[in-house]
Structure 1
Amino acid sequence: MRSESPALLPILRSRHQGDLLASLLLHPTRRYSLTELAKQLNAPLTTVQREVERLLSADLIAEQRVGRSRLIRANTSSPYSAPLTQIIMRAFGPQLVVKEEFSLLPKLQALAIYGSWAGRYRGNAGPPPNDIDVLVIGAPPRVALYEAADRVEQRLDLPVNPTTRTPHAWDEATDALTRQLKTDDLLWLVRPEET
């Protein structure tokens, strides 16, 4: 079965390729096993192996063998590393960066991205997203919430719009936005049961 090019960046072969590049390029000093990458990307190991082989042959990533394991990392000495990192950060970085920055919030119960970026990630056609809409379920301090949004904005160079709902308000869904969000295809980064 042939995978379709991702709506976020159609020059890539697949969303798995974009997610793989994001994981490696946004954490350039970290080494990953193939199994770890497959689990993180929620992708079949064979798919990850194929994508890794393509990226290795293009010299975009490097590998180190430790016993029978292959450890993969970004090849920061590639002349394409810096510009590719910028592009991948903008297109596929939001889910990683939002999770890294917002999951540190106290009293966080769930975290999701919605709106145009989530739609493109899911494959809906349209122009590149101009912002990132973030849903926080919980009761984090407002200052901490907006500091997290500012950190994401600085890293992605995109405006971040955080929306908060208490667990009760989320469950009851008495306002129009909450009702709409409950019917949308949210990209959950931290599911309610994971906290």
Structure 2
Amino acid sequence: MSREVDRLAVAGILNSRKIGSARIVAANPDYPFLAPLMQIIAGTYGPAALLHDAYVDLRGLEQLLIFGSWAARIVGQPGPFPNDVDVLVVGDVSNLEAHGIASDLERRIGRPVNATIMTVERWDGDDGFVKYLKASPLIEVISRDAAAGRVNRPYPPRDARALDDRWLENLIDDNRGGR
């Protein structure tokens, strides 16, 4: 992995420095193609990690789920690449804050992020839209127990850097034709 990081640092994509025996690696914010690269990453590997990090501290959040075409592709249903991200925000949250987070994410990933806000009572009920959602693929990004602080959040790993490292390692492996 060290050689790959060195190559990416030489190319200007990553910044790398040593502090004692530890090596600190991060994306280079001055890299001219960082924004499009991040869009490609988000588009290719899915929005769950970005959604998790963006919504995790939203006051009143009880549960966060991805539905629609992204969820269908994640569970393996065939179809075209998703044009947007549909996220279900369950809880007593501020509509303004939840939609503001969605707008920020849209700018980061270059695709519309549609936040559907629903109370716990409605989600636990059985109206037609809720039945439709529950019968469709759903990806739980933040569980009710996690939102209440009772367990660790199920996805992604709490340390998002671990997810980034795996992504980078897989990307490098893919470009080399596997290990």
- Same fold, TM-score > 0.5, yes or no: yes
Partner-residue secondary structure (3-state), 1:180: helix
CA-CA distance at 1:148 after TM superposition: 0.9
Tell me, yes or no, if the aligned pair for 2:64 and 2:141 is still in contact at 8 Å. Answer: yes
Q: Choose which of 68, 80, 83 in structure 2 pairs with 1:127.
A: 80
CA offset digits 1:27-56 (Å, max 9, x no partner): xxxxxxxxxxxxxxxxxxxxxxx9x99999
After superposition, the Cα gap between the structure-2 partners of 1:81 and 1:146, relative to the gap in structure 1 and judged at 3 Å, is closer
Deviates more, 1:126-135 or 1:178-187: 178-187
The size of the alignment, in residue pairs, is 144
Aligned Cα RMSD in Å? Answer: 3.0
Runs of 4 or more, structure 1, over 2 Å off, are 52-86
Cα distance, 1:86 vs structure 2: 3.3
Given that 2:38 and 2:108 are in contact with CA atoms closer than 8 Å, whether structure 1 keeps it comes out as: no
1:179 aligns with 2:139: no
Equivalent of residue 164 in structure 1, options 107, 110, 117: 117
C-alpha distance in structure 2 between counterparts of 1:53 and 1:176, whole Å: 54
CA distance in 2, matches of 1:178, 1:70: 48
What is the CA-CA distance between 1:85 and the residue it aligns to? 3.6
Structure 1 residues 76, 166: CA separation in 2 closer, same or farther (over 3 Å shift)?
closer
In structure 1, C-alpha distance between the alignment counterparts of 2:98 and 2:20, rounded to whole Å: 44
The question of whether the paired residues in 1 share the 8 Å contact of 2:62 and 2:144 is answered with yes
Structure 1, unmatched stretches of 5+, are 1-49
Measure, in 1, the Cα distance between the counterparts of 2:35 and 2:61: 33
1:92 equivalent among 37, 45, 57: 45
What's the secondary structure of 1:124's corresponding residue?
A: coil
Aligned equivalents of 2:6 and 2:75: distance in 1? 27
